[in-house]
Structure 1
Amino acid sequence: MPPLADDPRTRRLFWWLQTGGWFGYACLSYLQALAHGKSPDYWRLSFGVALAGFLVTLGVRQVLKRSWGRPLRVFLPLAGACVVLATGLMGVAYITLVLDWCGDQCRPSSGLGYLASGTGQLYVVLSWVGFYTGIKYYRQLQQQSRQVLAATAMAHEAQLKMLRYQLNPHFLFNTLNAISTLVLDRQNDVANRMVQGLSAFLRHSLDSDPMQRVTLKQELDALNLYLGIEKMRFAERLAVETQVEPACYSALLPSMLLQPLVENAVKHAISRRVSGGRLRVRASRDGDTLVLAVADNGPGDDAAANGRQGNGTGVGLANTRERLRVLYDDAQAVKVRACEEGGLEVELRLPYETGGAPRE
């Protein structure tokens, strides 16, 4: 049992319950005494015993607090000893107040009578200890639940950031090689534009927060940074088509969600064909679902050999699957299928949501 933090709100709650509980006990005891024909001055006995219980249980609380984190084999005997001691002290207070209230006529006639009078408060002490430990166990469970939720959220955040920042090194190597070739060919203007495009893309990639969402319009703008670099590399070999329903531009989705899919298509479909190829990005709405698709007309058989068909086990696609699973659980789907004209299409389905995006 780990110890619980004693914050100010918890202390205030204890004092409210402690004061209100014993005051209520005193009032109830006094009303019962009046109902059984006791004189009105019996309040001294009722409130005196309640005051003794109030003070005694403060000591019990300190013992229970200090022993709370110990094993049950240690905690339970300590709690039992507290119950016995508190009952005895309240019993002494009760007998003293009774003798002061009605004198020798109320004095027990035997030791067994003293024992019975002294242990009459056992049920009250047991109730107090049970109530106190029950509240602490409840708070402990609440604290553990909050810790589990916080740890899960932190794990999801770390997982999303890891998946989000796994940039394909092939893209960087190819871009740097292309820049080097342009410099050697003295095409400095083109090389400079490619360096600027690469800088803008990397800045956007590192600045974007994987835990926040952007609109599809913002996602397409970021995707154009990447495609601008690839178009300078492939020139006429790369053709890009975008088909987006107007209502989808304001839809929210995780940042940099489409870039790994487009990068896969360029790597596996466009770069492997001498004549290049066509890349198509599509977005539509199907009821409450946003449908995103990235398709190419590359060599389907070759793509399948690279793990892009069937379950789609490529790193970029696997990361996309995992990001969507963490963010949307069962409310998402990823499908990979062959296109009729050749190549592959990756389709993403996620909840259609709109609203203000952080970077909008």
Structure 2
Amino acid sequence: MQPLNQQPLVQKILNQPNYQFWALNLFGWAGYGFFVALSAIFWDRHLGLQAAYTLMSVTTGLVLSLGLREFFKKIWNLNAILRGIYSLLAVIVITGIWSFVKMEVFFYLNKDMESSRSLYEYLGWYTYSFFIFLSWAALYFSLKYYRMLQAEKEKTLKAQAMAHEAQLKMLRYQLNPHFLFNTLNAISTLILEKETVTANGMVTELSKFLRYSLDNNPMQKVTLAQEVETLKLYLGIEKLRFEERLNINFRISESARNAHIPNLLLQPLIENAIKYAIAKSPNGGTIELDADVLHNQLSIQLSDDGPGIADIPVAMRDRIEGQHGGVGLANTRERLHELYGAAHSFELENIEPRGLRITIRIPYSSTERSKAA
């Protein structure tokens, strides 16, 4: 990106209010001068004298318009009624000065023309000059209000973007204390049983997982392959707790491995499955993760062989299904809504003979696709 002072003139005119003012002001007065000069042909006047008059008229009008601009700046912070009254008075005074100068110079250059220099003659000059400066003032205020409106829109969009980011960060950092408490209790038990090697391994895995969770920007996305590696850190901790009671199967297609997803999107779902499907069963259970790209969408299915939704108490089911904003499935549902809106789907279904399947579909994007584009 070029520095602001090295931008092309057209870009400066489009982006900077001061350049816009000068461009429009010069263009407007040049247009006025063109038609004044052109009137020499229709009125059969001396071309050289008309050119001199045109130059004087345009120069005087331009200088007076700059003075009018400075006056408008000084009264801008007044209330709307006072600002309107003072602006109209300023236009009346400026028009009076401009009309008098133009009339005197015109008749001085055209000495062969008869003129009574009457009030009636002056009012004729004043009338059309007034509408020129009134139009100038109207255009000035219109552009001023337009820029203010645009600035307010930008502030609103920026505030909405910041609120959106804050919402995502809040959802992203809702780590379930249940996981931390259970892990710390497991470490404490291992230490008491003098299984220091296993305890040390669990501490190391927990440290890696927490570092990843807290250090990564929740607004950025990661590949599904990176997400799976993070899940392995988390599952490595849980595996130390549940040992043979926890079985894990990953089936990720090659195209799905490079797909972009929000980081730590699946961890709350895995945690939920462990809490309700593995920990509740004396024999443990199996968690399966399948991912593939179908019809330009990334499809992710997470299944367990726990009780499913039907056998969970209604109060707990409401929390799981996200109706009351709980951490877990509700967290994931909200994050997906914030990021993808109507372009995603999130479905829960019981599977036979027992278990729960969560299906997520989001628009497919990948590093390879970005490079190809």
TM-score by length of 2: 0.88
Count of matched residue positions in the alignment of Structure 1 and Structure 2: 352
Query: Which residue of 2 is the match for residue 324 of structure 1?
Result: 336
- From 350, 355, 358, the equivalent of 1:346 is 358
Query: Which residue of 2 is the match for residue 286 of structure 1?
Result: 294
Question: Following the alignment from structure 1 to structure 2, what is the Cα–Cα distance between the partners of residues 151 and 357?
Answer: 31
1:84 equivalenced with 2:57 (yes/no): no
* Closer/same/farther in 2, CA of residues 106 and 182 from structure 1, 3 Å limit: farther
- Secondary structure of 1:186's counterpart equals coil
Question: Following the alignment from structure 1 to structure 2, what is the Cα–Cα distance between the partners of residues 16 and 337?
Answer: 64
Alignment of 1:38-187 (within 5 A): 38-40=45-47, 41-103=49-111, 105-108=113-116, 110-187=118-195
Question: Following the alignment from structure 1 to structure 2, what is the Cα–Cα distance between the partners of residues 339 and 35?
Answer: 90
- 1:139-190 CA-to-partner distances (Å, cap 9, x unmatched) read 2222222222211111111111110011000100000000000000000000
Query: Which residue of 2 is the match for residue 207 of structure 1?
Result: 215
Deviation at 1:104, TM superposition (A): 8.3
Structure 2 residue ranges without an equivalent (≥5): 1-13
| Same amino acid, percent of matched pairs | 40
* Closer/same/farther in 2, CA of residues 69 and 289 from structure 1, 3 Å limit: farther
Deviation at 1:113, TM superposition (A): 2.3
Question: Following the alignment from structure 1 to structure 2, what is the Cα–Cα distance between the partners of residues 146 and 278?
Answer: 50
Q: Is the 8 A contact 1:291 1:350 kept in 2?
A: yes
Structure 1 residue ranges without an equivalent (≥5): 1-6
Query: Which residue of 2 is the match for residue 36 of structure 1?
Result: 43
- From 333, 343, 347, the equivalent of 2:345 is 333
- Secondary structure of 2:354's counterpart equals coil
- 1:97-142 CA-to-partner distances (Å, cap 9, x unmatched) read 1232234844335322222223331121122112222222222222
Deviation at 1:309, TM superposition (A): 8.3
Query: Which residue of 1 is the match for residue 34 of structure 2?
Result: 27
Question: Following the alignment from structure 1 to structure 2, what is the Cα–Cα distance between the partners of residues 66 and 279?
Answer: 71
- Secondary structure of 1:345's counterpart equals strand
Question: Following the alignment from structure 1 to structure 2, what is the Cα–Cα distance between the partners of residues 248 and 34?
Answer: 75
Deviation at 1:332, TM superposition (A): 0.4
Alignment of 1:156-305 (within 5 A): 156-300=164-308, 301-305=310-314
Q: Is the 8 A contact 1:214 1:357 kept in 2?
A: no
Question: Following the alignment from structure 2 to structure 1, what is the Cα–Cα distance between the partners of residues 234 and 77?
Answer: 56
Query: Which residue of 1 is the match for residue 16 of structure 2?
Result: 9
Question: Following the alignment from structure 2 to structure 1, what is the Cα–Cα distance between the partners of residues 333 and 71?
Answer: 53
Question: Following the alignment from structure 2 to structure 1, what is the Cα–Cα distance between the partners of residues 201 and 116?
Answer: 104
Query: Which residue of 1 is the match for residue 5 of structure 2?
Result: none
Question: Following the alignment from structure 1 to structure 2, what is the Cα–Cα distance between the partners of residues 44 and 317?
Answer: 80
Aligned-pair RMSD on alpha carbons? 2.2
TM-score by length of 1: 0.91
Deviation at 1:308, TM superposition (A): 6.1
